[in-house]
Structure 1
Amino acid sequence: MLSRRETLRALGAAGVAAPVLAACGDADPVGDPPASDSGLRLVKADVSRSAGDASAVADVVAAMGAFATDLWQQVGDTDDNLALSPCSIATALAMTANGAAGATASQMLDVLHVDSLSTYNAGMAALTQELAALAGPVRLRDGKNGTISLTSADQLFGDRSMTWRRAFLTVLAKQYGAGMYDVDFLRNAEGARAIVNHWTAGRTHDRIPEILPEGAVDASTRLVLVNALYFKAPWDIPFEKAATTEAAFHRAGGSTVQVPMMHGDAEGSAVYLEGRHFTGARLPYRSGTLAMTVALPTADHDAALAELLGRGGLTATSESPVAVTMPRWRYRIPTDLRGPLMSLGLTDAFDDGRADFSRMTSDERLHVSSVLHQTFVAVDEDGTEAAAATAVAVADSAVAMSHTLVLDRPYLFVVHDTAHGTPLFVGRVADPG
């Protein structure tokens, strides 16, 4: 089997023309092979990564929550499993917005609930680095060593025939740590697609093996912007595997399915939460700085999620213990976001006659051809593993009382940090079977 380095070298060999790009080349700081090894050139503005603006983080998280609430209402049916990473989607769209101008830029910022893109960029830079600092070794309850993984990576893949504006590359390098691999969409779109998928698979530990399906890019593609997010963490107090039993889960349509149900008790570290539209629980991961909040909507799933993702909703305090019963489950869900984003008002970006991405390049008139998203989530007795990737393809225009919570009907989940309530992953478990 080829190593990741050898595979990228083989994929890079498909390139023919020398790159013509307006920025400085350097080695990839996160481990992809340099140009001398792979035949791929990484183009990146010669600037240091910004520490960002910590004072802007709260507004970034609030905007992310509002955007996620809007998007949620446009995707999926209440009878379907659903999973999204608002953090990943917002990051990929914000990177793209830095290349937009005029009405296209205004629509993108309105959909993202962003007042100032420069402030949002700085807040994203600070938030990304704060979240990265939450990862690392932890001591488990049984005395063994464990690890929390939380990584986010941003990358551009640009056609080597294009000249990209230095200011565009500079802001993405400075605020998002993103460089650009020059690939050959024009003459070898399939080879370029393989490179994008290979990079994304590597950044998500192979949980998102193919963010760009066959046909997603072609000779008209000029740029693909990708965010990849990976998370894995053990529960603060694991569920006892011996206590897991088969039990009925009640689907929205009234039918039931037998699934493995995990059982916690009120002496654990989960705390009870209650809002106007839900009853739920926060289950901390071992570090205490990350958690999963689960919520049984009282009626309206949209209203419950809006309440959770509203400012302060995921950071509300509670001291009431709760015994949680929930299914063990795993799924991977692809979502085409073009239609939902257009329904939210992001129309010009997809219109080859009206899109304005002149801040990216002056070579050609560009438009967004697709926004593709995938999320993987696995929950078991030990903890949670989740990954997400978002690709934007740009083409030429041409303690008090204890409680019990039994999650045996469709419920919501949010994986988030406990300081800001950043919605890393949100979803609905409609059928864990």
Structure 2
Amino acid sequence: MDSLIAANSKFCFDLFQEISKNDGAKNIFFCPLSLSAALGMVRLGARSDSAHQIDQVLHFDELSQEKSAAPDPCLKYRERRVLADSSLEGQKGGTKSPSPQAESSKEQNELLSCYFGQLLSKLDRIKADYTLSIANRLYGEQEFPICPEYLDGVIQFYHTTIESVDFRKDTERSRQKINFWVESQSQGKIKELFSKDTINNGTVLVLVNAVYFKAKWENYFDVKNTVDAPFSLSENEKKTVKMMYQVGMFRIGFIEEVKAQILELPYTKGKLSMFVLLPPDSADNLKCLQELERNITYEKIVAWSSSENMPEKEVAVSFPQFTLEDSYDLNSILQDMGITDVFDEKKADLTGISPNPSLYLSKVVHKTFVEVDENGTQAVGASGASGSVMSAPSWETFNADHPFLFFIRHNKNQTIFFYGRVCSP
């Protein structure tokens, strides 16, 4: 499963680069985990080049390289399936064996789905301390029959299903049905996922992916300390924001190669944390931010956010309130990244979803919502007594009064839930 987490993280940074390449000054917020899972659902039913392109862009083709000393239940699951298939072929006798390429793709698919099933099950079990609503569903034109094996797979591994709707004869009702489901799954925060005219009677398969997240800080920001303060958008532009403030013990580090600070802001019980990457304050803050963005890789994020690089210190934290709501029509973005065939009516091979060879992916929409404010509960047992009480203040300063990057991570298994950029709170 570790290799799936690494693959999801690599896709996260690739996707960020693609989204941000045409606008270096806009807020960005997306959920790579749920998007990878959603495209994993498509991969489950994709075949030939349609499957290979998804594997390459989402780094799913790197899963087989995983080596672990611990027993891997997914590898055992795959071995059982291989034995069962061999036994079935033996009973049929003389059945033509699938090609080595097809067999390899099938094994890869089963491994991927099993790892996603494991990961999503673990994350489902730890949601008592925060709200994470992932609305993940495929909507298919009802005239396209769905393979029973595919239905079983998305239910078992991806904790969702594919639903038939009447895009052709009742387009507007289908649109409203999808929007209502997403709104109910996202605590009412994500409304009108599909606006009018985004779905038409030519639509055949829609991938819906909407995420809502809210959690409380481990160390809350006292509302009394929140003040109006300037936030530098660029060299000549500032805006007034609600700036929260507290002094406390936090893990903090300095990244020498990009001259940036990294701060961990843990959520309740420390299972999840927000990591903030703050470039140096300069005459051109956006240029410094873009320099940081160009240097980020999965391997570097792992190193930068490690406990070795981030000792716990007393830190004076100034951090802005913000609410981000973002929506992406991912068709063109994913095509630019290399996933092209599934969107092409003549080239798509989604015969693992439906035996109808005309099925292709009409639209992929991703919508997110996050709120960041003072709310939180004070850490249990924090008495405030420390050995530095008698000495002069010696805390570090972390002042997020200019554009920064952030990601929200599950700390035990290193899964990046969300990744974002704040240029204008």
Task: Determine whether 1:70 maps to 2:9.
Answer: no
The farther-off stretch of 313-322 and 287-296 is 313-322
Percent identity over paired residues: 29
Q: Which has the higher strand share?
A: 1
1:113-262 matched pairs, under 5 angstroms: 113-115=59-61, 116-136=108-128, 147-262=129-244
Does the CA contact (< 8 Å) of 1:320 and 1:402 recur in 2? no
The farther-off stretch of 62-71 and 356-365 is 356-365
Amino acid of the structure 2 residue aligned with 1:68: C
| Counterpart residue number, 2:317 | 324
Aligned Cα RMSD in Å?
A: 2.3
| Counterpart residue number, 2:81 | none
Higher CA-based Rg: 2
Give the secondary-structure state (helix, strand or coil) at the position aligned to 1:365.
Answer: coil
CA distance 1:348–1:192, shift in 2 (3 Å): same
Residue 155 of structure 1, CA deviation: 2.6
| Counterpart residue number, 1:271 | 251
Provide the TM-score with structure 2 as the length reference: 0.77
Residue 231 of structure 1, CA deviation: 2.3
CA distance in 2, matches of 1:314, 1:87: 19
Q: Unpaired segments of 5 or more residues in structure 1?
A: 1-55, 137-146, 385-398
Does the CA contact (< 8 Å) of 1:313 and 1:421 recur in 2? no
Residue 311 of structure 1, CA deviation: 4.4
Partner deviation per Cα, 1:38-60 (whole Å, 9 max, x = no partner):
xxxxxxxxxxxxxxxxxx1x111
Partner deviation per Cα, 1:82-114 (whole Å, 9 max, x = no partner):
111111211111111111111111001101000
1:363-378 matched pairs, under 5 angstroms: 363-378=356-371
Give the secondary-structure state (helix, strand or coil) at the position aligned to 2:402.
Answer: coil
Amino acid of the structure 1 residue aligned with 2:39: L
Give the secondary-structure state (helix, strand or coil) at the position aligned to 1:226.
Answer: strand
**Equivalent in 394, 404, 411 of residue 411 of structure 1:** 404
Residue 208 of structure 1, CA deviation: 1.3
Give the secondary-structure state (helix, strand or coil) at the position aligned to 1:78.
Answer: coil
**Equivalent in 276, 286, 289 of residue 294 of structure 1:** 276
CA distance in 2, matches of 1:370, 1:154: 14
CA distance 1:211–1:308, shift in 2 (3 Å): farther
CA distance in 2, matches of 1:320, 1:303: 27
CA distance 1:316–1:219, shift in 2 (3 Å): farther
Amino acid of the structure 1 residue aligned with 2:364: V
| Counterpart residue number, 1:59 | 3
Amino acid of the structure 2 residue aligned with 1:205: Q
Give the secondary-structure state (helix, strand or coil) at the position aligned to 2:268.
Answer: coil
CA distance in 2, matches of 1:95, 1:83: 22
Residue 309 of structure 1, CA deviation: 7.2
Does the CA contact (< 8 Å) of 1:412 and 1:427 recur in 2? yes
Amino acid of the structure 1 residue aligned with 2:292: H
Residue 226 of structure 1, CA deviation: 2.7
Residue 411 of structure 1, CA deviation: 0.2
CA distance in 1, matches of 2:299, 2:192: 31
Residue 80 of structure 1, CA deviation: 0.9
CA distance 1:254–1:336, shift in 2 (3 Å): farther
The farther-off stretch of 228-237 and 65-74 is 228-237
Give the secondary-structure state (helix, strand or coil) at the position aligned to 1:108.
Answer: helix
Residue 162 of structure 1, CA deviation: 2.1
| Counterpart residue number, 1:87 | 33
Count of aligned pairs between the two proteins: 350
Q: Unpaired segments of 5 or more residues in structure 2?
A: 62-107, 281-287, 378-386, 389-393
Provide the TM-score with structure 1 as the length reference: 0.76
CA distance 1:230–1:74, shift in 2 (3 Å): same
Amino acid of the structure 2 residue aligned with 1:370: K
Does the CA contact (< 8 Å) of 2:183 and 2:191 recur in 1? yes
Partner deviation per Cα, 1:188-207 (whole Å, 9 max, x = no partner):
11111111111111111112
The farther-off stretch of 236-245 and 326-335 is 326-335
CA distance in 1, matches of 2:294, 2:170: 46
**Equivalent in 306, 310, 313 of residue 297 of structure 2:** 306
CA distance 1:95–1:383, shift in 2 (3 Å): farther
| Counterpart residue number, 1:8 | none
Partner deviation per Cα, 1:54-74 (whole Å, 9 max, x = no partner):
xx1x11111111101111111
Amino acid of the structure 2 residue aligned with 1:301: L
The farther-off stretch of 307-316 and 362-371 is 307-316
Partner deviation per Cα, 1:165-185 (whole Å, 9 max, x = no partner):
122212111111222332211
Amino acid of the structure 1 residue aligned with 2:117: A
Amino acid of the structure 2 residue aligned with 1:286: T
| Counterpart residue number, 1:389 | none
Give the secondary-structure state (helix, strand or coil) at the position aligned to 2:297.
Answer: helix
